Structure 1
């Protein structure tokens, strides 16, 4: 089982290690408005030591933070002179070892947000007039203008740029026809070129989408299309070819204004079968053409629309990414101030510190930790409440849903939640289904998708593998000379395993068995697989002994032969959250009562005399350790003294450490925290 507060800690470490570097690279270099006077670049950054410890910050009502300094270089472009300086960019709040932040002496938790992943989505809905299924597509970037494609009942494909007026999709196609510079401007984006791109795709005789769209399109070449594109997006301004070209460039092909993000590029590549490098974070003309091709295919019934509530299409914005987005806001405000100052100050006199005003950065961080919907006063009623708060997933917040507009589908339990989001633990009332909890074994991968572990069910094994002993052979095995080493159906013992090392093949077919390894899968990877339950009958060597096995295949339960099983659950507790996993005999509980039980455990006040429960579920120890409310030894050692206030430990390495115990400390909820040796 992963550490229960691994998610926020890893996310914050990633922000300190990579997120800050990305932000400084994004805004660097900053030049003045003319680009001829000065240039400011940011280099290496470092976090210094925190002024006070966590305990002192609580006592002083201070923020647990560390000064952030960055190396800057100001180049005077006229003379080539470079002035270097270390800049102080404010105090950055630090995460405590327990995954919380101490802001003005109070412990706060930044709740992870569950949002629609950047990428391309295809949806289908019946046309009210004809009843025919029409497909729409959305290209959602991490930052920048949305593209929304639609199909009309007259087979015309149109596109909306950033929720503005609709334009025929061929206008956009003509405008982006810029790959081949050898073709004269007036010959680009012609009807013949567009028809050539789609000749293998638009093959349905009853519905010629590109021809119908061209008939609706009043433009004839790239120049006219650019002007029409500009006219639709900027209705008041007079359109010129240069203005239109720079608007298109800025909207989709400039990395300052448009960012698909690493995740968006990964999802787009997967959805459209592209092979773009993960570093290509802007749009390319080929991406738009690929989206329209897939749109036509889905309209013709040759592809499936996406399920927008599937967890493969929703990702977690953990604490690191949320802070990074807010820090970006502060840096962009700071950049504007720097550019204004560059224009009015004397290049000879100025220094980096005179140009940079850190107030916007400090204000952005204060605003996030003090006022964001996702930065919350930690629920500290008891250790379980604290742990559950750090593992919470919210669909609300900036860039997310609002509880008034969220429908039933978004709130409902989805089959892809299995092992990732708990189907039981969610609040009752207006937030039901919008706030969830990470399942006990779930973890978040680098792209922000939730993964859950499974045991691979293997059908063959290497001749030198440690897992060979105890297997049943599925075929006769011979050595290089043709001598039979083992017969079909025979169980491998240690002597036979040694002999099989000389087998003619490197791998041997065996009857299906559950491996001791684990593999983490996200929701999309899991969909085509057949996954058995954790209580599937196995012998002592892990071989499947049932004649037929109950499996999950996508959203359908099925009975299959053992040879068809791909993976197996690691634990029956895998599908529920930590709080629900503490309920004994959960499978005999009604779902509504289990929901209340899981929520009410978090409201239990601590006991004066804690006692061991008569019935447990094996999850209690893990919850106590990972909640951060118990002291843990760092390595093996000997306790040299233990009093009501301190525990002293002499470790094997020779160092002696004295740990102070918490005595009658007030928690955030006014309950009493006292540690006893």
Structure 2
């Protein structure tokens, strides 16, 4: 670079003791010092031109930048609080930071990874494997339309169009109305027209293709304006009763593979507070029986199965012991007790100064009598 040559000329010209007056330092030199003391990605502060940009931008504007050692310029005659000395001070501080970072990096490399006590050496081998798509893997589109693969069929069993083209993927239509992400339908139509007309559609989020524009593209491509067409059953070859929305969309496979998610447990660790099984494959936990699963068993009327799930298979400590004893002795009798989570709830309410007591069936009369006695004592005290 010509500018680099100018720098070396300046270095030879302004040697220690050569500057008689600080005003002799030209402004061009100071400007170049500021420009040349930065990395290409650093902000270049040009006080004279009043611009703040990176060195890469300066190069594009025809103002080249390169590395420059400020310590080689003499500043002996400058005042202590001058801008020139401030630049050199800033330069020296940056050099000290880099030296300190280098020392830390060398120490880290020499020290290596932290190993447990008693381990002298550890070898880590990373193996990359390619996995085919399998049932249970997770996929997602661009509109939050995520889901798992329920079935994988051969091409001849998939639904096909009138020209014999088999579809690649079948999505459940119930995933659209409740979530109201109808953008995936517009993407389906627009993708089909782009494939037929041979153009690449770029639609920003808040300024994308409108419905009228997509309908116009469907007309131009000679496709149905509704985006629906007749689809034939892959098993029987007969057309479906209703026309189906068909098109081209963007779908990707997510890094949630069923081979890494599958998990089973016989017995394992329990939580100390709730006495419920831990959760997650990493903790060898149990399967979560959530609210919707409870609804399913309630809908089927499976009362005993639901009771077993919520008690002896969960946090009923005494019921677990009795169930184990019954299984060992060959008895088929379920005697559930009180879940430990209920006891935790009672203790939390008692911590809020709410005295909660459980009244068993058949003992309501004695409980009411005790309440009346407490009311009588309170009235006497008042």
Q: TM-score, normalised by structure 1?
A: 0.15
Which protein is bigger by CA-based radius of gyration?
2
Higher RCO (C-alpha 8 Å, min separation 6): 1
Q: Which has the higher strand share?
A: 1
Q: Which has the higher helix share?
A: 2
Q: TM-score, normalised by structure 2?
A: 0.22
